[in-house]
Structure 1
């Protein structure tokens, strides 16, 4: 009887051990970029576990894969530029404020594509998902024919996803450092510029000559370069500039987002001239 009890206990322990080996805990399962791009069902928690290089692969995979059916093969190249900047500067490790904010943005895009394609109606609790779905649906049907209408819809979706990522970070006890928050303000300037084309062009017409002799004359192509979501170079260079400023100190004497935009324009315009010189 004693031998039988010991044998039964040993077999039970062995069964538990084998079960643990056969079925890994959910927290240990890391989704691959290719898997997420194909299935469009990875959560912000899944994305937070990815490196920035993996997220770059995911965004590119979504554009080349399922988003292509919606005519969105290059609608997040500017986000590629931001993620590439994070990768190159070793920013945004898993569990950090930068990582959670970025994960919220990428999750919103992913779920927006899935909803627009009719694969699912689940937003994963991300307010940006429905806005991205609306943007993609209108994009695919030609309802965003003007640059102003397109950029406004894009920026509203990205704004909601970004704010969700910030809330997600706060829920995990992560908050921006002063440098990160000043850097974040540059992204706010970018989204504001997307939503306010006439205002920005008017500002450049008035203040452009004070910043650079050619700026007023080139304000439209400059604005279109800066806000072009299908290009990664402006966002990457803008991130380098903004992060450099953020590490030094706040920009003194600036009032409001329009003032912040003008404070960045001199550097941005120089980058524009270099990038378009060919």
Structure 2
């Protein structure tokens, strides 16, 4: 019989070889606070986050590293969207909504990292460079004009959003009819930011058909609706857009301008209620 004392070296060697051959244990997912500090969590990591965790992540980036660039409140509207997803139970990991949102959040994260000079790697997300440019111009005071600011912000988010859609497709995830209609309303928001003069003209000419006060209040309403530093308008906009999306396409509405006016019809009531508080 072999004694345990003599067998121990052999057993230790076997255990060592088995340990080397065994696959490495997967690391525990990083917390939102860790991701905000490191600014290098990938879209794959973000996809695994719940919407509550992503909300914490976006807030931590704003109060933390982005504050050095004067961007401590530049994604509050995205907070509103993520809060809506959280409240409705939408965007669980691996879904189309989750991947698109992960692409958007990753673009913001890497844009901050690039603008701060921590890295030049955009993780293959075209939104990263756009956000970095936006943040650099913002920190230099080059986006004081609302139209210039909103266009730069919108172009950055559009690039990150398009990447998120491609990311979802690469994982075999595509929008359902309801999600596609809901997405069209999110496109309205970005279009509005890029087309301030045209949107204001639409409100001037068609506003009286929507509400007697709209034409006269079109500028403050537009500024409220498109304020990236506010979460309430985007949350309410998501409620309205998702409500429309669950119905059949709106009869008689054509193109992005038509969707904008359909959106405004209900959103203006929310604006009036907010102003009366």
Work out the CA distance in 1 between the residues paired with 2:17 and 2:81.
Answer: 45
| Deviation per residue, 1:231-272 (Å, 9 max, x gap) | 000000000111111111111221110111011111010111
Match of 1:241 in 2: 240
1:140-219 matches, cutoff 5 A: 140-219=139-218
Match of 1:57 in 2: 56
Work out the CA distance in 2 between the residues paired with 1:176 and 1:237.
Answer: 22
Q: Secondary structure at the match of 1:74?
A: coil
Cα 1:7–1:238 shift into 2, 3 Å: same
Work out the CA distance in 2 between the residues paired with 1:20 and 1:246.
Answer: 52
Work out the CA distance in 2 between the residues paired with 1:214 and 1:19.
Answer: 73
Work out the CA distance in 2 between the residues paired with 1:98 and 1:241.
Answer: 17
Cα 1:206–1:120 shift into 2, 3 Å: same
Cα 1:211–1:173 shift into 2, 3 Å: same
Work out the CA distance in 1 between the residues paired with 2:168 and 2:19.
Answer: 36
* Deviation, structure 1 residue 23: 4.7
Work out the CA distance in 2 between the residues paired with 1:63 and 1:154.
Answer: 15
Match of 2:31 in 1: 32
Match of 1:254 in 2: 253
Stretches of structure 1 that go unaligned for 5 or more consecutive residues are none
**How many residues end up aligned between the 2 structures?**
276
* Deviation, structure 1 residue 15: 2.9
TM-score (norm 2): 0.94
| Deviation per residue, 1:27-59 (Å, 9 max, x gap) | x53111000000100000010000000000000
TM-score (norm 1): 0.94
Work out the CA distance in 2 between the residues paired with 1:171 and 1:161.
Answer: 15
Q: Supply the RMSD in Å over aligned alpha carbons.
A: 2.2
Match of 1:72 in 2: 71
Cα 1:17–1:212 shift into 2, 3 Å: farther
